[in-house]
Amino acid sequence: MTPSGGPPPEPGWQRLGVSQEDWQHWPWQMRERVRDARALARFVEPTDDEVAAIERLADRFHFVITPYYASLMDPEDPDCPIRRQVVPRTAEQDDPVGVADPLDEVAHSPVKNVIRVYPDRIAFCVNNECALYCRYCLRKRMVGDEEWTMKKRELEVALDWIRETAEIRDVLLTGGDPLVFSDDRLGWLLAELRTIPHVEIIRLGTRLPVTLPFRVTDDLCRLLADHHPIWVNTHFNHPRELTPEAAHACDRLTRAGIPVGNQSVLLAGINDDAVTMKQLCEGLVKLRVRPYYCYQAQLLEGTAHFRVPIERGVDVFRELRGRTSGFAIPQYVLDTPYGKVPLSHPYLRGREGDDIVVEAFDGRLWREHNPL
Ligand SMILES: *Cc1c(COP(=O)(O)O)cnc(C)c1O
Ligand code: SF4
């Protein structure tokens, strides 16, 4: 085992005998993705359970991993936090309560691929492809599924809906992953959105800075900067994902004037303890990436082994409060069909006559004189 756990010290391209140029070329990474147990064995020795799960679950939910992300796995540790996010386990078949669409997104869709929960902003699922598929993905029902592939015509129908719906000031491009699009296609989509005067900001939700950081090219950053104001939210879940390559991708985005935030998912055994979460969040702010949300894992089919009791999540973030920079602490939220609900420790303890009682980070109570 490597001293602190984690991948072997040589870079992935060296270990695999690939040229560094190929390795850093994002279409090469997409083409050479791990798709079966044999390909996975080039990085880690799959367990019997993983081999069985890959065979049984492959057609239910895509199994694909970029070589870059696979190279971050610890070959000595089957419970490696990178590996658990992307390699299936038979435990996925053991989830009596999970459902396909826990947020009832289908019912909140005024036009295909648009999800509207709030009056002024929407999630616009522009494609169904990701560089890899996370086992806890909320959009499991659509990612990697051909039926959801968006044709240009469908995108135009959704764009027309946005054009006709004057309240929409904030459009969140998601999927799948909008950065899987070619620069041309993304450029077309952004230019179309920019012809709509009431669309003030465009956000991209993308995991590619984490799973395929080479996608964040100078050309892409120029393209995004041409359509400002653009905000990006990415999705790091574990400090081991904060590699020099990922840091470089985030740096390019921020240098293009794009505020970069992070949305993670609280995952049992991966990041559901205060030490790991603090490392993740402090690592993010060092990259100038602002921790934004941490989601409670949804009641999604096949993900029981990732879910944690909400009280545990509240405790994790309570432990961070006062013990790291305030802006390093994301808001822990539960996403519901009615929108995102903040889950936080009740620091406001209540009123006693003319006083409000609050609890400080270290548990001390403070009375603030505050007559009604
Ligand atoms: C998360 C989400 C948004 C954006 O919510 P913010 O709290 O503004 O980040 C918008 N629409 C949908 C459907 C969402 O799920
Ligand atoms: S990158 Fe995002 S959308 Fe794609 S599989 Fe992972 S969680 Fe789902």
- What are the residue boundaries of the structural domains of the chain, listed by start? 12-93, 106-341
Which of 220, 248, 268, 218 minimizes the C-alpha distance to 81?
268
Structure tokens at 312: 């545990």
Q: Give the tokens for residue 269.
A: 């055994």
> For 200, which DSSP code?
-
pLDDT band at residue 148 under the 50/70/90 scheme:
low
3-state SS, residue 216: coil
Ligand that comes closest to the CA of residue 180 = 2
Which of 145-149, 276-280, 352-356 shows the lowest per-residue confidence on average (mean pLDDT)?
A: 145-149
Count of beta carbons in the 10 Å neighbourhood of residue 19: 11
What's the token pair of residue 71? 């190279």
* CA distances from residue 192 to 174, 178, 188, 218 in whole angstroms, order as listed: 16, 15, 6, 22
Residue 171 CA to ligand 1 center (angstroms) comes to 9
DSSP 308: -
Percent of the chain that is helix, strand, coil (3-state, to 5): 35, 15, 45
pLDDT at residue 97 in the model: 85
Q: Write the pLDDT tens digit of every residue in 236-250.
A: 999 999 999 999 999
Residue 117 CA, closest ligand 1 atom number: 13
What is the Cα–Cα distance from 280 to 291, expressed in whole angstroms?
9
Q: Is the pTM of this model over 0.85?
A: yes
Question: Taking the C-alpha atoms of 123, 128, 130 and 132 in order, what is their torsion angle to the nearest 10 degrees?
Answer: 120
- Which residue do the tokens 């946005």 mark? 162
**Does residue 1 carry a pLDDT above 60?**
no
Q: What is the mean pLDDT of residues 275-301?
A: 97
Tokens of 210: 């984490």
Pairwise CA distance, residues 213 & 265, whole Å? 19
Name residues contacting ligand 1 (CB within 6 A): 115, 117-118, 121-123, 172, 340
Question: HSE on the CB side for 69, CA within 13 Å?
Answer: 32
| Helices and strands per DSSP (H, E), number in the chain | 14, 12
Given a cut of 90, is residue 162 above it in pLDDT? yes
Distance CA 368, CA 372 (A): 12
Averaged over 158-169, what is the pLDDT? 98
C-beta of residue 69 within 8 angstroms of C-beta of residue 132: yes
**Counting atoms of ligand 2 from 1, which one is nearest the CA of 176?**
3
Which residues fall within 8 angstroms of residue 361, CB to CB, at 6 or more apart?
Answer: 318, 321, 322, 323
Mean pLDDT of the chain: 94
Q: Does domain 106-341 have CATH number 3.40.50.720?
A: no
Atom 15 (ligand 1): residue with closest C-alpha? 123
